Chains A and B, each alone.
Chain A
Amino acid sequence: MEFSYYPGCSLEGMNKAYDKSARLVSKTLGIGLTELNDWNCCGASAYMSIQELRAHLLSARNLAIAEREKKDLVVVCPACLTTLTKSNHYMGEDLKLRRTIASALKAANLQYLGTVKVRHLLEVLVNEIGEQEIKTKVTRPLTSLKVAPYYGCQFTRPFGEFDDKEFPVMLDTLLKWLGAEPVNFPLKAKCCGGMLMTTNEPVGLGLVRSLLDCATQNGAECIATICPLCHITLEAYQGNVNKKFATSFEMPTLYFTQLMGLAFGFSRKELGINEELISSKAVLARRVEAV
């Protein structure tokens, strides 16, 4: 199974471990990920907030390159997923927009006919690879590891093409296949406040606190993330939350691909698990054999 792979800017920066573990897990399951040649920013929300048409143009260039490679595009960042999918939809629905973007692309001899589907890696793993194949790769089950499955906002919103918009279950399912125990996590698709951390920290910290509260109260030992922005927000701002609200959270966060890699028998180092800000060592030592 071959895809073009779009890491996105966050995975080049603070979230390299997500990139590393995503590639490793995909390879193990026979998914060929070829990095999209010379990809650019998706036109993310911060860009869209200032320049609308150019944001669509940014998405369109990525989609045009993927179309030339004749492969669907796999992303790991839900914000990139939503931005690219939104451009895909709006260019499909709005003839004038499509023409405007098409004539701009033409200036660089590019064209986009609208044939590329943008998919999140989690959805590909669950829908294309499935229970049987994933279970056969599990050599070190994460038995009774209590995980809060955290999806964040933009995995299924606004489009909800492959899971519930408000209460997705795909990550819960995958965690069970790995032997882990996804806890009840009512805030699983609530906002982490990541976008607000630089611009309005008090509001952002309140959102992080409610997530950590919810995970703790439901017995989670760690949080599994599928979004680089949620991930860095949850791990980097726990100290600030503890200070502001006089709490004592110390909740490790792990990318879902890191948990998969652990279950498949890879070492912590291969998965970048030694790079997190809040150590998961104690939790994993308690639950996972010979880490």
Chain B
Amino acid sequence: MIGGIYRRDIYPPFSHLRAVIALSEERSERRAHALGNVFLHAVYSIPGGEKIKECIQCGTCSASCPTSYAMDYTPREIIAAFRAGLLERVLRSNTVWLCASCYYCTVRCPSGIKLTDIMYELKRLGVEFGLVQEGAVAPVLSKTFVDMVDKYGRVPEIPLMMTVLLKTNPLRILKMIPHGLKLFLRGRMPFLPHRISGISELQKCSGAMTDALVSGVHAGPVTGEET
């Protein structure tokens, strides 16, 4: 069973490449090639995604990025690394999870490349294939976020923070106590999550989508849709 369902799965299946990436630790060239292909395929499936071909390496993205100074590979270098077959190094670095999704690169790119969407794709690829920086907190936060939304339908902020800190750095909870106390005294610290009443409905939709994609049934026209 595969770990997740992605837009690239709506398009021709890439299961053989998944297998290559997942297994062939020793055959690094083949693995890099497969990873690059899955990435490119995923990016092409974003509306306007094929613009990635038009990167002129001008560096506007890196210069506009508020966090690029701290990244092992700047946004411009990500595309250069991909072209050189070194995507795995990028995924295993601190790079993609430093993206705060501010979209400056996207609105400024002279070639119209949706870099923020590419960052999201890299985050997903890394998590899917276990290619993330060791000890990184951000993937844990995102996974916990997904689990909570899938369970409750909404995200309870305080339990989310507590769970992530417990999983990654329990000592930091102590440091957060003064903050927490202040919020609590002002009535801004709801501990109990709210579960939406349509949660089973949502899970049903989600299950139906997974089933359809796993069995390879591409969705046809749906009632009410203009053709």
A interface with B by C-beta (< 8 Å): 9-10, 12-17, 38-41, 44-54, 57-58, 61, 82, 89-90, 93-94, 96-108, 110-111, 113, 153-154, 157-158, 160, 165-166, 190-191, 193-196, 198-200, 202-203, 207, 236, 274-277
- List, in ascending order, chain B residues with CB within 8 A of A13's CB: 156-158, 188, 190
Supposing A196-B67, A198-B161 touch, asked if A58 and B149 sit within 8 A by C-beta, the answer is yes
- List, in ascending order, chain B residues with CB within 8 A of A202's CB: 70
Supposing A45-B101, A203-B70 touch, asked if A50 and B127 sit within 8 A by C-beta, the answer is yes
Whether B22 sits at the interface, judged by CB under 8 Å, is: no
12 contacts between A and B (CB under 8 A): A14-B189, A41-B154, A46-B142, A57-B206, A99-B220, A104-B205, A110-B205, A166-B107, A191-B100, A198-B164, A203-B67, A277-B186
User: Which of the residues B5, B157, B212 comes within 8 Å of A54, measured between beta carbons?
Assistant: B5
Q: CA–CA, A238 to B32, complex, Å?
A: 44
Contact at A96–B212, with CB atoms within 8 Å?
no
Which of B7, B136, B197 is the most central at the interface, judged by chain A CB atoms within 10 Å of its CB?
B7
Contact at A191–B66, with CB atoms within 8 Å?
yes
Contact at A107–B205, with CB atoms within 8 Å?
yes
Which of A41, A50, A153 is the most central at the interface, judged by chain B CB atoms within 10 Å of its CB?
A50
**How near does chain B come to A243, taking the closest CB pair, in angstroms?**
11
Contact at A275–B219, with CB atoms within 8 Å?
no
Contact at B154–A47, with CB atoms within 8 Å?
no
The stretch among B51-59, B79-87, B116-124 that forms the contact with chain A is B116-124
Give the 8 A-B CB pairs with smallest separation, nearest first.
A107-B208, A157-B103, A153-B102, A104-B209, A13-B157, A99-B219, A199-B138, A102-B222
User: Which of the residues B66, B120, B190 comes within 8 Å of A12, measured between beta carbons?
Assistant: B190
The A/B interface has a contact count, at CB < 8 Å, of: 226
Q: CA–CA, A160 to B104, complex, Å?
A: 12
- List, in ascending order, chain A residues with CB within 8 A of B205's CB: 57, 61, 104-105, 107-108, 110
Supposing A14-B188, A47-B142, A97-B10 touch, asked if A53 and B67 sit within 8 A by C-beta, the answer is no
State which residues 147-185 of B face A: CB under 8 Å. 149, 153-158, 161, 164-165, 179, 182-183
Contact at B222–A51, with CB atoms within 8 Å?
no
Contact at B153–A41, with CB atoms within 8 Å?
yes
- List, in ascending order, chain A residues with CB within 8 A of B124's CB: 49-52
Whether B196 sits at the interface, judged by CB under 8 Å, is: yes
State which residues 91-133 of B face A: CB under 8 Å. 94, 97-98, 100-104, 106-108, 114, 116, 120, 123-124, 127
- List, in ascending order, chain A residues with CB within 8 A of B141's CB: 46, 198-199
Q: CA–CA, A113 to B225, complex, Å?
A: 7
B interface with A by C-beta (< 8 Å): 4-7, 9-11, 45-47, 66-67, 70, 94, 97-98, 100-104, 106-108, 114, 116, 120, 123-124, 127, 136-139, 141-143, 145-146, 149, 153-158, 161, 164-165, 179, 182-183, 186-190, 194, 196-198, 201-202, 204-209, 212-213, 218-225
Contact at B100–A195, with CB atoms within 8 Å?
yes
Q: CA–CA, A103 to B5, complex, Å?
A: 15
- List, in ascending order, chain A residues with CB within 8 A of B194's CB: 12
**How near does chain B come to A77, taking the closest CB pair, in angstroms?**
12
Q: CA–CA, A57 to B47, complex, Å?
A: 17
Contact at A98–B188, with CB atoms within 8 Å?
no
Which of A15, A108, A276, A277 is the most central at the interface, judged by chain B CB atoms within 10 Å of its CB?
A108
- List, in ascending order, chain B residues with CB within 8 A of A49's CB: 120, 123-124, 127, 138-139, 142
Which of A46, A89, A193 is the most central at the interface, judged by chain B CB atoms within 10 Å of its CB?
A46
Contact at A153–B155, with CB atoms within 8 Å?
no
User: Which of the residues A10, A14, A98, A153 comes within 8 Å of B103, measured between beta carbons?
Assistant: A153
